[in-house]
Amino acid sequence: MSHLTADGTEDIARILEALRAQGADDDFLFRARTHLPRLHRLFSELYGDHPHGLERLGEVCSLAASSWATRPLELKALDAQREANPTWFESERMLGGVCYVDRYGDGLDSIRRQIPYFRELGLTYLHLMPLFESPEGNSDGGYAVSSYRRVNPALGSMEELAALAAELRLAGISLVVDFIFNHTSNEHEWARKAVAGEPGFEDFYLIFPDRTMPDAYERTTREIFPDDHPGSFVQLADGRWVWATFYHFQWDLNYANPAVFQAMAGEMLFLANQGVEILRMDAVAFIWKRLGTACESLPEAHLLLQAFNAVLRMAAPSLLFKSEAIVHPDEVAEYISPDECQLSYNPLQMALTWEALATRDARLLQQALERRHALPPETAWVNYVRSHDDIGWTFADEDAAELGIDAFGHRRFLNDFYVGRAPGTFARGVPFQENPKTGDARVAGTTASLAGVEAGDPAGEDRVVLAHALAMSTGGIPLLYLGDEVAQLNDYSYADDPDEAGDSRWVHRPHRPEKNYAERTDASTPAGRIFGRLTDLLSIRRATPEFGGNTLWPFDAHSSAVVGFVRADAAQSKVLVLANVGDHPARIDALTLSGWAPTAADLVTGDSVSLSDGLDLPAHGFRWLRVSDRS
């Protein structure tokens, strides 16, 4: 038994020697030499004091080598292609879609049959919601995983998933699946073995004999799913307590144990070799715990992600991580780097788009674009209008205070507004996880229902289009919740299903809205109008190189209801985006626009526009204008 040393030279030499003896090829050894020093450093920070840290590091590397040895040739070809073009995902042609395999279809085969439609939309990325084996009944929509190597038999098999990944790839679409690595279901074999005290598994989870430690931890942790259980722990049948941040059947893994890292690295490499191109790293903020802290976004959470990243760089270099951190914007940003998660949801832009639509005031959104949008090179936002989860108001209190907004009261207003309690609201949402102790709540609802289409608000459709137009233009990968492009509404029938009734997020996870899809070319229906407008915008975006990448220059339109920014391509061609969240037309005066040459091209209408008399933006309207600097 030897410990990891801060200077890893000898350890690294020994591991490389073992990899050579194992028969690792030159490609692999080259990447191991590049990434092992980083992985060793991360391991010594995470597991320097652990008696088996070094041994585990060696085993993880050996696992990576055997994974590479069996990696299918077409995936190795993809690796080479991505390495030659590391910014491939920043292209203006990128478009994501997300759906449930058993709700958008009835299994993997039905998803395969949708490929022609995905191509018609222009998808280049498809996120299939959790599809692994999970408990019967409530499984948190599959976020309680019982095996990472078996597909839920109701949906298909792992062979079918790999075949689907290959077929999607041929269609130019990257398969994205969740890597739910903070917790497993209580039915996972590791969980059963841990409870039974089987050697090697006792420390896979955080199990305590009595309330002493749970009470101590809960002094500083938040309640995430208070409707399910208070605090962060649940009691086992034998009286012990296990850490369960989310549902009582989702047990948090103990990453302080390097055997857990090793086991999960194995699952990740397995999925990478099935042809998954992007892993959505679920609940990243929660993966490391330390007494006396909130146990969220601790420094070790980043070290763990970086260590997983280093393992992947060796054995499946084209694979990307997408961070799911729905937390304070400072913390969201900390997960994003080429060495950690290359992609991240952009929860701030999502929430502030809705905030702006409710308040008819774009200042918080504009401020966020100004100060919180920039990203390191070779990373990108994933911009979504809504997801399968609730909307949480994760803006920074301090940002709001600068604009004279009291964050607590504002969140309360937004919750009331979006669950239809505020006078004059256009939204039909429902509350999720209201916590009477803290006054916290989040909101569930489909885009169309939240935007006013369900309520029959005359501006509802314009708001749906406006929200998507922002997600398509600020920079990053826009992500469509499939069905929203045909204006699907809330589905309240979840309340009659005992497995779903306790989780209001089901209201916005309807089955594929067949009627809406049938109407999608009929402009006399909301589905037809929204589909027509959104697909037009999508094809314009694809043909607009200025929308690639992430760099954005704020543009002050001198109106509190108008968001303004400029995007540019490599040749410095520029597109000015102006969006009016207000209920009244907004006028941008000539002086404000006088920095641009007097004639601009409207990318949406195809018309040439004169800027010399100022511009009128209709209520809930926006413009994508190709402008040139005044010479």
Residue numbers annotated as active site: 282, 324
If the CB atoms of residues 273 and 415 are measured against ligand OTU, the closer one turns out to be 415
Under rule CB under 6 A, how many of the chain's residues touch ligand OTU? 15
If the CB atoms of residues 303 and 325 are measured against ligand OTU, the closer one turns out to be 325
Q: Which of residues 135-174 bind ligand OTU (CB under 6 A)?
A: 140-141, 143
Binding mask 354-393 for ligand OTU (x = CB under 6 A): -----------------------------------xx---
Q: Based on the shown chain and the rule CB under 6 A, indicate whether residue 440 belongs to the binding site for ligand OTU.
A: no
Q: Choose which of 190, 246, 288, 384 interacts with ligand OTU (CB under 6 A).
A: 246
Least separation in angstroms between CB 140 and ligand OTU: 5
Binding mask 28-67 for ligand OTU (x = CB under 6 A): ----------------------------------------
Phi, psi of 136 (to 5 degrees): -60, 155
Structure tokens at 316: 């499946």
Q: Based on the shown chain and the rule CB under 6 A, indicate whether residue 332 belongs to the binding site for ligand OTU.
A: no
Q: Choose which of 12, 224, 443, 465 interacts with ligand OTU (CB under 6 A).
A: 224
Least separation in angstroms between CB 508 and ligand OTU: 12
Q: Which residues of 117-142 are buried (b: 16+ CB within 10 A; e: fewer)?
A: ebeebbbbbbbbbbbbbbbeebbbbb
Distance CA 288, CA 310 (A): 18
How many beta carbons lie within 10 A of that of residue 59, not counting itself? 18
Q: Based on the shown chain and the rule CB under 6 A, indicate whether residue 507 belongs to the binding site for ligand OTU.
A: no
Q: Based on the shown chain and the rule CB under 6 A, indicate whether residue 326 belongs to the binding site for ligand OTU.
A: yes
DSSP 421-482: -STT-----EEEEEETTTTEEEEE--HHHHHTTTTT-TTHHHHHHHHHHHHHHSSSEEEEET
Secondary structure of residue 577 in the 3-state scheme:
strand
Task: Quote the crossing angle between the two packed helices 363-372 and 347-359, to the nearest 10°.
Answer: 160
If the CB atoms of residues 410 and 505 are measured against ligand OTU, the closer one turns out to be 505
If the CB atoms of residues 285 and 586 are measured against ligand OTU, the closer one turns out to be 285
Least separation in angstroms between CB 283 and ligand OTU: 4
Least separation in angstroms between CB 179 and ligand OTU: 11
Residues in the chain: 631
Least separation in angstroms between CB 218 and ligand OTU: 17
Q: Based on the shown chain and the rule CB under 6 A, indicate whether residue 324 belongs to the binding site for ligand OTU.
A: yes
Choose one: 15-23, 119-127, 325-333, 618-626; the region binding ligand OTU (CB under 6 A). Answer: 325-333
Secondary structure of residue 73 in the 3-state scheme:
helix
Q: Based on the shown chain and the rule CB under 6 A, indicate whether residue 282 belongs to the binding site for ligand OTU.
A: yes
If the CB atoms of residues 35 and 509 are measured against ligand OTU, the closer one turns out to be 509
Cα–Cα distance list, 566 to 215, 218, 232, 348, 596 (Å): 51, 46, 44, 19, 11
If the CB atoms of residues 484 and 546 are measured against ligand OTU, the closer one turns out to be 484
Is residue 606 left, alpha or beta, with left meaning phi > 0 and alpha meaning psi from -120 to 50? left
Q: Based on the shown chain and the rule CB under 6 A, indicate whether residue 263 belongs to the binding site for ligand OTU.
A: no
Q: Choose which of 63, 180, 234, 391 interacts with ligand OTU (CB under 6 A).
A: 180
CA angle in degrees (0–180, nearest 5) for 492-498-500: 50
If the CB atoms of residues 130 and 258 are measured against ligand OTU, the closer one turns out to be 130
If the CB atoms of residues 59 and 324 are measured against ligand OTU, the closer one turns out to be 324
Distance CA 64, CA 529 (A): 50
Q: Choose which of 195, 327, 350, 369 interacts with ligand OTU (CB under 6 A).
A: 327
| Helix boundaries (H) for 70-178 | 73-84, 108-112, 115-121, 158-170
Taking a C-beta distance cutoff of 8 angstroms, is the pair 481, 386 a contact?
yes
Sheet of strand 622-627, all strands in order from the earlier edge strand to the far edge: 552-554, 562-568, 574-580, 622-627, 599-602, 608-610
What are the residues facing 617 on neighbouring strands?
Answer: 586
Q: What is the DSSP letter of 353?
A: H
The residues of the shown chain that bind ligand OTU, judged by CB under 6 A, are: 140-141, 143, 180, 224, 246, 282-283, 285, 324-327, 389-390
